[in-house]
Structure 1
Amino acid sequence: MLLSNREIHLEEGSGGLIKSPMPGKVIRIGVSVGTTVKKGSVLAIVEAMKMENNLLSPGDGIVEEVLVKEGNMVSQDDVILKLNLG
């Protein structure tokens, strides 16, 4: 049972690297390589402490690489995917 669902707004100065803001389990990857995304689009969901954390795109761009799979455990600052922002 999940207690909450929250949105994590990532900073634009990340250079297109989408990193996990906390340790947890990747429960959903909402994009694939080549997907065009808009600022605020949900890129992935990381579950931590029974909370779903929606990782939102910091800007408009295209997904260049997805580095994790659904079900993977991640640590804080692990790169989940790379965007070409522009």
Structure 2
Amino acid sequence: MKSAEEIMEILDAYDLTGSLRDAAELAGCSHHTVKRYVEAREKKAGRSAPPVRREQLIDPFLAKVEEWVDRSHGKVRAD
């Protein structure tokens, strides 16, 4: 059984390389182990909906801010 840190290292290596064998070499384990943890992560995560853009506080004023940026050639200060 791998510790949580080892599992995260394995998954990070897989995300970096995209290859089971390369990730296994980086993490120092078998490519079968990498495959098992990658499949478990995908099964647990499932197919989630794409993220929804939430409104930000600046949205009502965005047009005016963009106008200031254009007029000042990118020199806008907020102090």
Q: Which has the higher strand share?
A: 1
The structure in which a higher percent of residues are helix is 2
User: Fold-level match, TM-score > 0.5?
Assistant: no
TM-score range, shorter chain: under 0.3
Larger radius of gyration: 2
TM-score (ref. length: structure 1): 0.21
The two structures have a TM-score, normalised by structure 2, of: 0.22
